[in-house]
Amino acid sequence: MRYRKRKYFLAGRINLIQRSKIRELFEKASKMEGVISLGIGEPDFDTPDVIKEAAKRAIDEGYTHYTPNAGIPEFREAIAEYYREFYRISVDPSNIIVTAGAYEATYLAFQSLLEQGDDVIIPDPAFVCYVEDAKIAEAGILRIPLREENKFRIDPDELVEMITKRTRMLVMNYPNNPTGATLDKKTAKAIGEIAEDYNIYILTDEPYEHFLYEGAKHYPMIKYAPDNTIIANSFSKTFAMTGWRLGFTIAPAQVIRDMIKLHAYVIGNVASFVQIAGITALRDRRSWEAVENMKRVYDERRRLVLKYLSKMPHLTPFRPKGAFYIWVKIDRELDMSSEDFADWLLENARVVVIPGTAFGKQGEGWVRISYATKKEQLIEAMERMQAALSKI
Ligand SMILES: Cc1ncc(COP(=O)(O)O)c(C=O)c1O
């Protein structure tokens, strides 16, 4: 069928959203041969077999119907159990909604908590969805810079300075995309206290909580401001389940009540057999063994890429202790913007990296490298970069 030419009346709201600036880079790369992409933000591992088998079994057993909007009770129990076992945090299953990934969880939080006249503080740089979520919620956006000298942690003093009567929410994301930074207890505590003192929400997006290296630990913000914290979390990274669209949110009862109203009419519920597989992911020892293995491999690659980058001319990496990204500073002498550099690298080394400005203004002068790519590819990409940069 061909659509006739006609005038379409579209809601202006959607124009508030900016499509990713890096699409052009990917489009250009897709037309070139032999390109290695270090731009990918998803695990290259396959979902552990034990989880796949659980989903197949669930379909055969008839988990093909609607479930309660908030999710299958046993699955929500398993999520609560997980917080108890890993972090000694007591969460009531009634405070959990199973969502279509962390994307949905953050969207629900923005829509339920913010409106015109409210401000949200979003780090700069930050993962791309928060700013777009804020725009659709018509909230005012303030960016708090993350600085290298603070190891890309939010500076509590700077945060206090930014808070006004309009401030409703702070977004946090540790281990961090794009910097690979992790949180420390002192900062977590200080931010928790600020959130309580000024009564602002913390929306904390924690999908990389298991990818930690060099002894780094995870400090879930719910521990430090339990009444103010909304968690967005996901199975996407931990269990290499990006395509399954499985995540959850944890929030205080009043907040959950509002979030579920929206969730019920947009998603209804996450696929029932996917939720059943989620129970296996959390409770079966074999899925955790797979997570440990992924973590070990990521760490090997992280060290490998850092080793190359530390010797490479014109680039200086920040040493990350979390997630699967490396945030790399471009030498000022090169006189190239992040976008120019990414473009230059694609042309001259056939390697894709993400310009730091995709994550905010503070990303100028930086690029993000993902090591969620096979070792051989990483080595090849590093050698090509080394060769290209040595010629400058
Ligand atoms: C920080 C962060 N939050 C959320 C997401 C979205 O994850 P999900 O697949 O759970 O929706 C991503 C994906 O890259 C991410 O990096």
Query: What mean pLDDT is predicted for residues 196-225?
Result: 98
Nearest partner of 39 among 392, 346, 380, 361, judged by Cα: 346
Domain ranges of the chain: 12-46+288-386, 49-284
Ligand 1 pocket test target in 47, 98, 122, 127 with most atoms within 8 Å of CB: 127
Distance 102 CA to ligand 1 centre (A): 6
Is any ligand 1 atom within 6 A of the Cβ of residue 125? no
Render pLDDT for 235-247 as a digit per residue (tens, 0 to 9).
Answer: 999 999 999 999 9
Distance 248 CA to ligand 1 centre (A): 12
Phi, psi angle pair for 205, to nearest 5°? -105, 110
pLDDT band at residue 1 under the 50/70/90 scheme: confident
The region of weakest confidence among 5-14, 20-29, 236-245 is 20-29
What percent of the chain lies above the pLDDT cut of 70?
A: 100
Is any ligand 1 atom within 6 A of the Cβ of residue 58? no
Contacts by 15-21 with C-beta closer than 8 Å and gap 24+? 16/132, 16/135, 16/136, 17/132, 17/135, 17/136, 18/132, 20/128, 20/358, 21/355, 21/357, 21/358
Report yes or no: 106 and 201 within 8 Å, Cβ to Cβ. Answer: no
Distance 207 CA to ligand 1 centre (A): 7
CATH number of 12-46+288-386: 3.90.1150.10
Q: Which two tokens stand for residue 216?
A: 């780094």
Render pLDDT for 130-147 as a digit per residue (tens, 0 to 9).
Answer: 999 999 999 999 999 999
- Residue for token pair 């409210």: 118
Q: Atom 4 (ligand 1): residue with closest C-alpha? A: 102
Is any ligand 1 atom within 6 A of the Cβ of residue 40? no
Query: What mean pLDDT is predicted for residues 58-73?
Result: 98
**Could you tell me whether strands 36-37 and 351-352 are parallel, antiparallel, or unpaired per DSSP bridges?**
parallel
- pTM confidence score: 0.97
Q: Which two tokens stand for residue 168?
A: 């409703």
Per-residue pLDDT at 284 = 98
Q: Which two tokens stand for residue 190?
A: 């200080």
Distance 247 CA to ligand 1 centre (A): 9
Contacts of 229 (CB under 8 A, 6+ apart): 195, 201, 202, 204, 221, 222, 250, 251
Distance 103 CA to ligand 1 centre (A): 6
Is any ligand 1 atom within 6 A of the Cβ of residue 177? yes
Distance 56 CA to ligand 1 centre (A): 25
Distance 206 CA to ligand 1 centre (A): 9
Phi, psi angle pair for 153, to nearest 5°? -95, 150
Domain 49-284: which topology? Aspartate Aminotransferase; domain 2 (3.40.640)
Per-residue pLDDT at 25 = 84
Report yes or no: 99 and 264 within 8 Å, Cβ to Cβ. Answer: no
Is any ligand 1 atom within 6 A of the Cβ of residue 133? no
